[in-house]
Amino acid sequence: MRITLVRGDITDQEVDAVVNAANSSLLGGGGVDGAIHDRGGPAILAACKALRRTGYVDGLPTGQAVATTGGDLPAKWVIHTVGPVYSPPLDRTDFLRSCYRETLRVAADLGVRTIAFPAVSAGVYGWPVADAARQAVLGIRQAAPSSVEEVRFVLFNEEVFDAFRKALDDGGGVRVSPDA
Ligand code: AR6
């Protein structure tokens, strides 16, 4: 599995699956969530509502992941995951790593080969960016080998991009594409 970094908008990514930094209601919000629903159109919300009527009556728990159609996005799938709200002194880091592990497990079940992740919890949920990047890399590295060939982190601004580059500094085989 190859890990790549790009600075950009996750809704532009031509990958099999994009990851939504959702909330447990699965009914939309701001940030990545708002952008995905805006660009992906009503089919995504309809699929989320259907999930709420069936297996996820109480919503999607923190650290878990579930897939829907990608609607009008270039990606075929959206995999929704719920990051933890940053709330020291509670240690919620394993929930954050779990978002990446669980998302990759769902992706593998779908036969996904390329997947784009945002910096889960690093926006509205307030997780400090440097640690959000470290937990992201750890979570990806904890995932079982699967069909996934490329994990692409798509970072919206330079500060987050630099944090992920630093977190990956000790890893080999990383391709950095700031202009993609
Ligand atoms: N593409 C890539 N990254 C983005 C984009 C985009 N289009 N838009 C924002 N980011 P956030 P969270 C970056 O707040 O912290 C929502 O209301 C952003 O700069 O989207 O997990 C949900 O419904 C930041 O670095 O997710 C939840 O209620 C990162 O993506 C809550 O926010 C994550 O920011 C989830 O908060």
Q: Which residues line ligand 1 (CB under 6 A)?
A: 9-11, 21-23, 29-33, 35, 83, 118-125, 154, 156, 160
Q: What is the pTM of this model?
A: 0.95
Kindly report, residue by residue over 33-67, the tens digit of the pLDDT.
Answer: 999 999 999 999 999 999 999 999 999 999 999 99
- The Å distance, Cα 41 to ligand 1 centre, comes to 18
Tell me the average pLDDT of the chain. Answer: 94
- The Å distance, Cα 91 to ligand 1 centre, comes to 21
Count up the domains in the chain and report the number.
Answer: 1
- Are residues 21 and 81 in contact, defined by beta-carbon separation less than 8 angstroms? yes
Kindly report, residue by residue over 62-108, the tens digit of the pLDDT.
Answer: 999 999 999 999 999 999 999 999 999 999 999 999 999 999 999 99
Strands (E), the chain: 2-7, 17-22, 65-69, 77-82, 114-117, 150-155, 175-177
Q: Which atom of ligand 1 is nearest to the CA of 21?
A: 21
Q: Give the CATH number of the domain where residue 14 resides.
A: 3.40.220.10
Residues annotated as catalytic are 33
Q: What is the DSSP letter of 76?
A: S
114: containing domain: 2-177
- The Å distance, Cα 173 to ligand 1 centre, comes to 27
- The Å distance, Cα 16 to ligand 1 centre, comes to 20
Confidence of residue 118 (pLDDT cuts 50, 70, 90): very high
Our mutation pick for probing the ligand 1 site, out of 32, 92, 161, counting the most ligand atoms within 8 A of Cβ, is: 32
Q: Residue 108: which of 77, 153, 63, 129 has the closest Cα?
A: 77
